[in-house]
Structure 1
Amino acid sequence: MKRKVLTMVVIMTLLLPIFADTKGFAAHWALSGDVNVHDPSYIKEGSGTYVFSTGAGIQVLKSDNGTNFYRVPQVFLSPLSWWRQYAPNLKNDRANDVWAPDVKQYNGRTWLYYSISSDFGQNTSAIGLASASSVGAGSWRDDGVVLTSNSTKDYNAIDPELVIDASGQPWLAFGSFWTGLKITKLDKNTMKPTGSIYSIAKRTVNDGAIEAPSITYNAQTGYYYLFASVDKCCDKANSTYKTVYGRSKSITGPYVDKNGVDMMKGGFTILDAGNDRWKGPGGEDIYNTNLIIRHAYDATDGGNPKLLISDLNYDSAGWPTY
C-alpha cells in the first residue's frame, strides 16, 4: 500500500507543472506542437482532430492523437470575389483575413461558417458559408453569403455558430457588440436563414462588449447553454476577455445567469477570467457539451494567442464548471 501511495505522489509531482497555471487539475488538457490560434472551432473526424481559426484564408490545425497539433493547408488560398461586395473597405494587406470560423457536421455534410468585416469597430460585415463532404476530403464548395450587416443594422454579422436544437433543427447564432447576440432559424437544405432574428444577449455597460456566441443543448439537464465572450479582445497580454454563460429552456431564450438575471439585461455568470499566465480567455467553442475550446493570450510568450482545451462539467444544479 505504501508503495502505491508513493508511486501516486511521484506521478502527481511529475504532472503538476503541466497544470500548475490552470484553475483545476486534469480538467485542462496538456497540448503540444503548433497551438497558435484565435477564435478556434473544434471538430473530430475519424481518428483526426481539427481546429479551424481566424487568419489568412481560415487557418487549420490537425492532431492525430488529440493533443499534439500541426498546421495543414488553409481553406481559402485567395479571397472570394464576392467578399468585397459586403466588406468594401477590406484593406489589401488583409483581403484574405477571415474571422471566427465555425465548423460542424450536419445532415451528412460538413458546414463551415465564417465572417469577413471591413475592419474592427465597423459592422459592415458578412457571414459566409462553405461546405464539403468531409474535412479530410477538402474541396470546399463556396455556398455564398448567409447574412450581412452595415451601418443601417443594429447588429454585426460576424462570429457565426451553427447550433442544432433538441429536435434536430439547425440555427445560426452570431453577433458582436452593437445590440448584442442573435439567433435565427436555418433552412435544413440551404443552411441559410429562414425566419426572424431573435435577440438573446447584450451588454448594458462597457460599450456593448459581448461576442462569440456558442450554444449547446445538454439533454441530461434539459437546458440550452449560451456561452459568450465579454470585455476587451485582441490586445495580447492586456486583453480582458472573459468567458461567460447563461442558460434557457428554449433555444431563443430568455437566457439567465445563476442569479436569474436575463442576459438581455446584462446578466451573465463568469466561467473563466484568466490568470497570471493565460490572459483574456475567449472565442470559445463547445463540443459535445463536455469540452470547451478557446484561445487565451500567453503572458509568458509575448501575449501570443494559443489554444486551450478543457473538460466541461456540470454541477448538481446543472451549471457549467471546470
Structure 2
Amino acid sequence: MASLRASGVTAAIFSLLACSTVAAPPYGHNSNPFSNASWPLPRMVRGQNDTANANSTTQGWGGIHLHDPSLVLGPDGHYYSFSTHGLTVISRASEMGSIEGYWEILGSVLEAGSSVINSTGSTDPWAPDVHRVGDTYYDYYAVSQFGSQISSVGLATSKTLLPGSWTDHGAVISSSPDVSYPLNITNTIDPNLFVDPKTHTPFLNYGSFWADIYQFQLNPDLMAVRQDTAVQLSFDPVLPQAEEGAYMSYAGGWYYLWYSHGLCCGYNISALPTPGTEYSIRVGRSRSPSGPFVDMNGVDLTAGGGYIVFGSHDYVYGPGGQGVLSNYHGRDVLYYHYVNTIVDPLYYDNLKLLGWNYINYIDGWPVLSYN
C-alpha cells in the first residue's frame, strides 16, 4: 500500500457522497451471483474527512477516508476503524452498533512513535489489523518502504481502543535478505491475526510480492512467532507476484483466505495499470487454517489460483485492503477501500474511501450483496 498526496477535492464532496443512497439489486446486474456482472455497489458510509487540512495530525486520513481499513467492535458498543497513515489513525462510528457512521476521527495508535518505525527507516505504519482477544485489543501493524524487503510487523495493545491507551511492544517479526528462511524470501507486511475458533490456536498471516503470503503460528502471548511453523498460503507465479493483504475468516466449517491481488497504488488517470492488473479482492477456502486453500476450480492458491470476489466495476476502481466483520446484525460483512471515480475522476491514491457489503455463502463460496 501507499499514498500520493492530492488536493482540490473538499470534505464537503465526500460528505455529499457518503450521505447519498444508492439503490442496487442484491447481485448487481446479473442473476448469476458468481459473475462479475453481479458485483454490487459499495454500501455508503457517513463521516468526517479532513483531506483539505494539511496540518492535521492524521495527515488527511480517517473518518470515511481510509486505506487498508480494519474494523472492530469496541467495548463501548461503537465500531472503531484503523487505517494506514497518520501513525495508524483511529476513527469511531458515533452511531452505536452501526458501521454506516457517522465516522469521526479520534487520533492515532502510535502517537509516541514506535521502535519498529525507527529500525526500518519509515515513519508511516501500514495496514493495521485489530482484533479483540479476551479483554485486550491487539493491533498488528507493518512498517516498511516501497521496494524494500527490510520490513517488520509491530504490535500495540489496548483495553479501550482510544488514543493514548495503546502500549507499543515493538517488532513481532522482521524480514530481510540476511535472516533465516523463510523470512529471507518473504516480506513482513500486511499482518493478520487469526485465532482458530475450533482449536484456539493463534496464527499470523503476512506477506506481499516476495514469495507472497505466508503464515506462522504465534506463541500463546501473541507477541512472537513459532519459527518452525511457517507455511506458504498463496503464490502468484506471474511477475510481479502481486498478492498481499491476507485476511482469514471462518464460516460454515470453511476457512477463507481473502487477499488483495494486483497493483494497489500509484493510480493516476494519466498512467493507470493495464486493465485487470489493478487491485481486486480474491478468496480461496480450506478445511484447515494452514491450507491448502483452493479456488472455485480446485486450483491451489500456491499455484496461482484465486476466485475474484470483487473488482473494478461501475464507479468502483481497485478495491482491496479488505477484512471481514463477523456477525454484524447477524450477517458477515466484507469491508475494503476503493477509488470512487465519480468523486475522484483523477484516481488519486489518497482519496480512497471505506466501502462494505454483506457476504452471502452459496455452496460454501462467498458472494457479495448490497442488501
Whether TM-score is above 0.5 comes out as yes
Q: Which residue of 2 aligns with 1:47?
A: 77
- Is 1:281 matched with 2:319? yes
Matched residue type, 1:247 = R
Match of 1:62 in 2: 92
Bigger strand fraction: 1
Return the alpha-carbon distance in structure 1 between the equivalents of residues 27 and 316 of structure 2. 11
Task: Give the superposition deviation at 1:319.
Answer: 0.2
Q: Deviations over 1:169-191 (max 9, x none)?
A: 21110001111101111112243
**Contact 2:141 / 2:191 at 8 angstroms: preserved in 1?**
yes
Q: Deviations over 1:127-168 (max 9, x none)?
A: 000001121485111112101011341100000000011221
Aligned to 1:204: 237
Q: 1:105 aligns with which of 117, 123, 132?
A: 132
Aligned mates of 2:295, 2:304 — CA distance in 1? 10
Task: Find out whether 1:32 has 2:46 as its counterpart.
Answer: yes
Greater length-normalized contact order (CA 8 Å, ≥ 6 residues apart): 2
Once the 2 structures are TM-superposed, how far is the Cα of residue 228 of structure 1 from its aligned partner?
Answer: 0.4
Q: Offset at 1:112?
A: 0.5
CA contact (8 A) 1:21 1:275 kept: no
Whole-angstrom distance in 2 between the partners of 1:140 and 1:170: 21
Q: Give the 3-state SS of the residue equivalent to 1:199 in structure 2.
A: strand
Identity %: 30
> Which letter maps to 1:167?
T
TM-score (norm 2): 0.75
Whether 1:130 and 2:156 are equivalent positions in the alignment is yes
Residue 19 of structure 1: CA displacement? 3.7
Matched-pair contact (CA < 8 Å) for 2:115–2:170: no
Task: State the Cα deviation string for residues 266-289 of structure 1 (Å, max 9, x = none).
Answer: 000000112131100000011217
**Gap regions ≥5 residues in structure 2:** 1-18, 30-39, 49-63, 179-183
Is contact 1:211-1:229 (8 Å) kept?
yes
8 Å contact from structure 2 (residues 192, 247) kept in 1: yes
- Name which of 224, 238, 247 aligns with 2:285: 247
Instruction: Return the alpha-carbon distance in structure 1 between the equivalents of residues 300 and 311 of structure 2.
Output: 20
Shift of 1:47: 2.2
Contact 2:90–2:163 (8 Å) recurs in 1: no
Contact 1:47–1:64, Cα closer than 8 Å, also in 2: no
Q: Would you say how many aligned residue pairs link Structure 1 and Structure 2?
A: 297
- What CA distance in whole angstroms lies between the structure 1 residues aligned with 2:70 and 2:25? 23
Q: Distance in 2 between matches of 1:110 and 1:16?
A: 33
SS of 1:264's partner is: helix
TM (norm. structure 1) is: 0.86
2-structure distance, mates of 1:20, 1:50:
27
Q: Residues 228-265 of structure 1, C-alpha deviation per residue, up to 9 Å, x if partnerless?
A: 00011113363610000000011111000000000000
Instruction: Look up the equivalent residue of 2:204 and give its one-letter code.
Output: L
Partner of 1:313: 360
Q: Give the aligned partner of residue 6 of structure 1.
A: none
1:186 aligns to 2:200 (yes or no): no
Task: Supply the distance in 1 between the matched residues of 2:109 and 2:43 (Cα, whole angstroms).
Answer: 27
Report the secondary structure of 2:352's partner residue. strand
- Partner residue in 1 for 2:176: 150
3-state SS, counterpart of residue 134 of structure 1: coil
Task: Name the CA shift for 1:41/1:82 in 2 (closer, same or farther; >3 Å).
Answer: closer
Contact residue 282 and residue 294 of structure 1 kept, 8 A: yes
Provide the C-alpha distance between the structure 2 equivalents of 1:198 and 1:63, rounded to a whole number of angstroms.
Answer: 37
Instruction: Give the 3 Å change call, closer, same or farther, for CA 16–78 of structure 1 in structure 2.
Output: closer
Amino acid of the structure 2 residue aligned with 1:18: V
- The one-letter code matched in structure 1 to 2:241 is G
Contact 2:202/2:222 (8 A) holds in 1 = no
**d(CA) in 2 for partners of 1:206, 1:20:** 36
Q: Is the 8 A contact 1:216 1:286 kept in 2?
A: yes
CA distance in structure 1 between the aligned counterparts of 2:116 and 2:318, rounded to whole angstroms: 33
The whole-number CA distance in structure 1 between the counterparts of 2:164 and 2:112 is 15
Tell me the secondary structure at the aligned position of residue 108 of structure 2. Answer: coil
Cα distance in 2, alignment partners of residues 19 and 169 from structure 1: 42
Matches within 5 A, 1:10-25: 18-20=22-24, 24=28
Supply the AA of the counterpart residue of 1:132. Answer: S
| 1:174 and 2:206 are equivalent in the alignment | yes
Amino acid at match of 1:173: N
* CA RMSD in angstroms, aligned pairs only: 2.2
Separation (CA, whole Å) in 2 of partners of 1:22 and 1:158: 34
Distance 2:315 2:283 in 1: 22
Task: Find 1:269's aligned residue among 307, 311, 317.
Answer: 307
Name the SS of the counterpart of 2:114 in structure 1: coil
Alignment of 1:301 with 2:336, yes or no, is no
Query: Which residue type is aligned with residue 73 of structure 1?
Result: G
Of 60, 64, 72 in structure 1, the residue corresponding to residue 106 of structure 2 is 72
